[in-house]
Structure formats: structure tokens, C-alpha cells
Structure 1
Amino acid sequence: MRRVIALVASPVLAIGLLAGCGGDEASSGSSGPMSIAVTPAADARNVGAGATVKVTGSNGRLTEVRVTDGKSDQLDGRYAPDRTAWNSTVPVKVGTRYTVHAWGEGADGAPVEKITRFSTTDVKRSDTLEIASVQPENGAKVGVGHPLMVTFNQPVEDRKIVQKALQVRTTPRVEGAWYWIDDVTVDYRPEKFWPAGTKVTLAAKLKDIQAGDGVLGGANRRSTFTVDRAQIITVDVDKHKLTVERDGKPLKTYDVTTGKKGWETRTGTKIVMDKERNKKWTDEAIDAPEDYEYRSKYAMRITNSGEFLHDAPWNRGTIGEANTSHGCIGLLPEAAEWLYQNTIVGDPVVVVGSSRPFDDLLNRVADWTVPWEKWKAGNADQT
């Protein structure tokens, strides 16, 4: 696998990746030689596994950034619109030495290159494999798009054996399949969204199984959640419209603004991961080129990397007319309030019309972007 992260408490983890929404881009630049700065610092040791990598360029623009581990796997990231900064969009993994290779072009036209290295903390393997978290939580009631998500306390060495110990029962019966998101996380979902009213029960029979070389399964665990009404939110980027369908019938339609050029809202199926009141947005959180600080009364997270549905009164003049955000889906206050009060965690949010794909399984929750035949075939034999 390329990356390992532990989603311990909840699938709704920002991991240091926050969003900000604002207005028009500002221009910047100055003359003189270019300098490149990298965080974590050169030769840093014991960098935390939740850290992200940041590369910034002064007096010029970044032309390319590569962050690779010892296996030459590359860390995903994105550039600021003016290419003065690059930020990884997933955290580093434990026990790994990374090389940061950055190239740039100064305002004076001169090429610049910088190479740094750092290493992350190593986590001693336990001799007992335990379940760290199950989502949805036991007894939860969720939307039709929420997969069953199981996270372990350490990388799973023998996926086939562990997966066989994870038994799922649905009432009424719905065919589903497991798929490993990374070395510590495995998800279960059906081909299409869960039917409304489905009861899903996980019986994790881990006790004393041979989970790897010298690793035994720990405690058994049982957890059940229920699927609520079938509500699906669709966002059309080109038409600047959001529609809500409940139990197969149109319910609401609202005007929206989505991500502008360079900050496009990703196309694909996501879910409502969390709901927040009085959310603060700043340029610093996403290295936006302009200065701003806004607040939304109603915000609903749909990706780890910072896409939200939220009220955007500062964009009132463009909502329904143009796409001017930094990737979020902005609504008028009254629309966002209704949506906040009438959505639950797990409601699908289907974005169409964007040129930017939503296809990173670690940018939770992107399970529905994997074709069913591939998902159903599974990947327990891959490490």
C-alpha cells in the first residue's frame, strides 16, 4: 500500500487539513533570487505520523514538488493557484524516511532546486491486533451512503485471515463486500447505496486468530447501525444548483457557488461526514493567496481535505451565478440552515460537472468512486 493512516476516533478527521472559502485571488510577487522552504525541517527526526508536508517559494513559483518514501511512492499534494506553495493532502506514515525534492523558477528567471529529507516516528508493533474503531458507532442511525468502516491498532499483516473474521449480517439481506483502504482500514459497502431501513451488524471474531507473524487477534467486537431515510444531495457545478431528493422524490432545490479555477470542487460521490456550527474560514488554513476571515453558522464536512457545504453570505452576489469558492459548496444562509437541519451523517453528496476527480480513498469518504466489480473482487491479497 502507498500510505498508512489510523482513523481512530471517527472517519471525520481533518488531520490538519482545513478549508477556507473566499473571494477573488490577489496577485503577489517581487524581484530577486528565489528561496524554497520545507516543513518538516531538513533532517528532522521523529516527525509525528499525523504531520503534513509544506513547501513554499519566495520571490518565484514552484514548478514541481515530489515527496517520496524509500519505495519511491509519492505523497499526494496540491499547489496554491499562484504556485508559491505546495501542501500534501494526506499525512505522512509512521516509520518512514521521506525525501522532498522541489524545483522552482525565480522572479529573475533563474532555476532553483532544493532537496531535504526527514523521518517519521516508528511505532513498535504490538503482538495483539485490536479494533481501534468501528464507524458508524454502535446504535447509530446514518444516511444511505455511509460504509461500514473498521480501523485497527496497527498495520494488518494477513488481510485474508483478518477479513474472514469480520462477519457482516444485514436485515433485510443486502449483498456487500470488503475493500482495504490502507494497511489499517477496511470498509464494507453494497453495490449501490444501502436501502432505507437496513440494519447492519458487524461480528468481529478476532480472538486468538493468527493475524500475522507472532500477532494474535485480540478481543471480539460486535456493533450495529441502522440506515435512515434515503436522502441524496446532488450538486451541479455548471448549473450552480443543489438538489435534494428524499425517498426518490424531489424535495428542495438551492442555488450554490462551488470551487473556482485552480480550486475546483471535486466531482464524484461523497458523504456528509460531520456537522459544525459557527465554522471559521481563513486564508492561512489553505494557503490562499488573498487575506480573509469568514464565519459560517452552518457547515457540513464532505472530505478530509476541506470541502464543506456551508452558508456563504460573503458570496451572496455569485451564488447561483458563478463558481468563486476555494472548493467548498456555498449556499445562502437560509438554504444552508435548512440543509443543516435536514441532513444526517452518511447522506450522499453527488457532485457532477467538475473537471477535477474525487478519487483518493484516503480523502474520506471516497468508497463510492471505486467501480463495484473492482470493489467486489477485493484487495485482501495486496499489501
Structure 2
Amino acid sequence: MAADKLSWATTEPLGYGKKYTYKASATGSDGKKVELTGSFTTLKPKSTPRATVNPVDDAVVGVGMPISIKFPEGPVQDKAAVEKALKVETSVPVEGSWAWLHDRQVDWRPKEYWPAGTEVKVSANLYGVPYGGGAYGKSDLTTAFTIGRNQVVKIHTPDHRMDVYRDGKLYTSYPASNGKDADPNLNTPNGTMIVMAKEKVGNFSNPRYGYTDVEKLWAVRFSNHGEFIHENEENRANIGKRNTSHGCVNLFEPDAKKYFDSAIIGDPIEVTGSKADMPTTSDVNDWLFSWAQWQSMSALR
């Protein structure tokens, strides 16, 4: 019952496609008792697509990590309705915005990198939200995660080095061989990406260029366009001297191991100096857009 006693609301969401009956009574100022009974039914959705959220609970991620809510079972037509149901809470003030990368994914990223140590809570109150086309949200989602230390990799490809910064200061630097300068298709593309995955042993077979069954150690993926940071002792003669890879960042094996151990998902990787730019069709492309572009991709702008 509301504080003014003029309305009543359920303390839990009603079910889809259900019939509810009610009975109410009240006594007026004249002392007369009034009763009211009735029933109603709730809508039956055409579908109730599930959604997913990332990062997951208790994750510790890098300062470039976006929040992603995906709708794998179907496109969202009413993006504004969905976006209104989303909430991000942070332990310190952080300016950010939601943006629709396509009709099955909406991401939130800060204007600048997250402050280290920020505690983040996300609420997606999607149950009952109309997605359009007769689809309604299946259930609410929540997650709570932490931003780790500030580590950013900077690669200026002509320098043949990979610099690692902590809290804005140079932490360590490794000799590197990047993508071939002469062929833009083989460049390590310009742009800000993030660490997406880590594999102790990565398979780098590429029949298009005539090599198969190629495995390299300490592989850190930073795009779905094909770029990794990994060891390549077979390219030792060029590391630190010439760019000869097919787009990956080649390191000596001990350096690759040290970097692998230091990296966490969501760490930014900033690449400059190449002839080619990372295409915005890469799966994790949040930092490839300017802040103004990013804001324009919100359904509520």
C-alpha cells in the first residue's frame, strides 16, 4: 500500500500470460464498507528472448573494458525502451554512455579509461520491457565487477618496440616486430583495442598465406581481425629491427611470457604509425569511435 493509502502495487513482477483475481475492501468516512472484486490477464509475448551481460560477477578487468549486453536470440527493435531499463553505478564518478553497436548488442563505456579500482554495478531491468515485434524481456540481469590497475600498451609501429605503461608512466618496454609496413593488409592496424583473451599456446595457421599448424606461446588477443601479441622466436632476427609479421606483435619468448603474465582482459592496446586503421567491424570496437560518435549511437540521444 502506498503511503497515502490511495494505491496498491505488487512487490514482485506479474507473470506473462497469467490471470489474476483480486478482492479489496475499504471503509469510507461515512462508515460504510465498500468491496471491489475483479480479474485481469497479463499479455502473452510472442517471444521472451534472453540477454547476457559482461563482465561477469566478481571479475577484475582492465581500464578499457566495456560493459556489453547482448541479445543472441533476436534483434531489438525498441532500443530506447531497452536502454531506459539499464543502469550503471560506480564507486567514483565516471562519465559514460550506452551505444548500440548493432541491433543485438548495446555497450557502455566511459568517456576516458576507467579510474583504477572503480567498483561497478550494472542493473538491466529487462523483464517486461517491450523489445518490439511482440518480444519482451525474459528476465532481469545484474553484475558487479572491479576495475584493476591501470595498464596500457602503446605501440608506435615504426619504433619496433612495445611499451607498457602503469598509471601513465613507462613501466617496461620490449623489442617487437609488427605487421609488414609495405602491405596495409598486413599492418598492425592503428586504433585503440583491448585485451580480449589469453592463450598459453595459440594456433596461427593461415592457409591464405601458405602456413598451417603454426603454434606460438603466450598469445594475447586484442582483436577479432586477427591481431595478437605473442612470442615468435622464428622471427628473432627481425624483432626490434624490422616489421615482418602478418599483423601480430612478435616478441622474444621471455618478454612475451612476462607481458602475458601481466595482462588482464580489458587492458587497452593503443597502436599508431601504421598505414591501415583497424576496421570498426572488429568485434570489440568500442574505443575505435570518438566520444561524439559514441554518444550519437545511443537510442536516447
Task: State the TM-score, normalized to the length of structure 2.
Answer: 0.80
Map residues 169-188 of structure 1 onto 2, 5 A cutoff. Answer: 169-188=89-108
Deviation for aligned residue 1:381: 6.9
Q: After TM superposition, where is structure 1 displaced by more than 6 Å over at least 4 residues in a row?
A: none
One-letter amino acid matched to 1:207: Y
Question: Which ranges of structure 2 fall in alignment gaps of 5 or more residues?
Answer: 1-44
Query: Residue 281 of structure 1 corresponds to which residue in structure 2?
Result: 204
Change (3 A) 1:377 1:321: same
Counterpart selection for 1:220 from 140, 158, 168: 140
Counterpart selection for 1:368 from 277, 287, 296: 287
> How many residue pairs end up in the alignment?
253
SS at match of 2:170: strand
One-letter amino acid matched to 1:377: S
Name which one, 1 or 2, has greater alpha-carbon Rg: 2
One-letter amino acid matched to 2:282: N
Query: Residue 37 of structure 2 corresponds to which residue in structure 1?
Result: none
SS at match of 2:143: strand
Counterpart selection for 1:271 from 194, 198, 204: 194
Percent identity, aligned pairs only, is: 37
Query: Residue 317 of structure 1 corresponds to which residue in structure 2?
Result: 237
Hey, what's the Cα distance between the residues in 2 that align with 1:247 and 1:283? 37
Q: CA deviation digits over 1:249-302, x for unaligned, max 9? A: 211011111111231111010001000012222232xx11x3454321210001
Counterpart selection for 2:110 from 190, 197, 218: 190
Query: Residue 38 of structure 2 corresponds to which residue in structure 1?
Result: none
Root-mean-square deviation (CA), in Å?
A: 1.7
Query: Residue 150 of structure 1 corresponds to which residue in structure 2?
Result: 69
Task: State the TM-score, normalized to the length of structure 1.
Answer: 0.64
SS at match of 1:238: helix
Query: Residue 295 of structure 1 corresponds to which residue in structure 2?
Result: 215
Q: CA deviation digits over 1:78-125, x for unaligned, max 9? A: xxxxxxxxxxxxxxxxxxxxxxxxxxxxxxxxxxxxxxxxxxxxxxx9
The reply on whether 1:134 has 2:53 as its aligned counterpart is: yes
Query: Residue 257 of structure 1 corresponds to which residue in structure 2?
Result: 177
Hey, what's the Cα distance between the residues in 2 that align with 1:126 and 1:275? 40
Hey, what's the Cα distance between the residues in 2 that align with 1:309 and 1:232? 14
Between structures 1 and 2, the one with greater helix share: 2
Q: Which moved more, 1:293-302 or 1:262-271?
A: 293-302
Deviation for aligned residue 1:126: 5.9
One-letter amino acid matched to 2:100: W
SS at match of 1:303: coil
Hey, what's the Cα distance between the residues in 2 that align with 1:369 and 1:240? 23
Hey, what's the Cα distance between the residues in 2 that align with 1:376 and 1:224? 24
SS at match of 1:129: coil
SS at match of 2:284: coil
Hey, what's the Cα distance between the residues in 2 that align with 1:258 and 1:126? 51
Deviation for aligned residue 1:377: 3.1
SS at match of 1:139: coil
Deviation for aligned residue 1:216: 1.6
The question of whether the paired residues in 2 share the 8 Å contact of 1:177 and 1:378 is answered with no
The question of whether the paired residues in 2 share the 8 Å contact of 1:126 and 1:154 is answered with no
SS at match of 1:282: coil
Deviation for aligned residue 1:207: 1.3
The question of whether the paired residues in 2 share the 8 Å contact of 1:154 and 1:184 is answered with yes
One-letter amino acid matched to 1:373: A
Change (3 A) 1:214 1:340: same
Deviation for aligned residue 1:130: 2.2
Change (3 A) 1:251 1:207: same
Question: Which ranges of structure 1 fall in alignment gaps of 5 or more residues?
Answer: 1-124
Hey, what's the Cα distance between the residues in 2 that align with 1:248 and 1:180? 30
Deviation for aligned residue 1:210: 2.0
One-letter amino acid matched to 1:235: I
One-letter amino acid matched to 1:266: P
Query: Residue 22 of structure 1 corresponds to which residue in structure 2?
Result: none
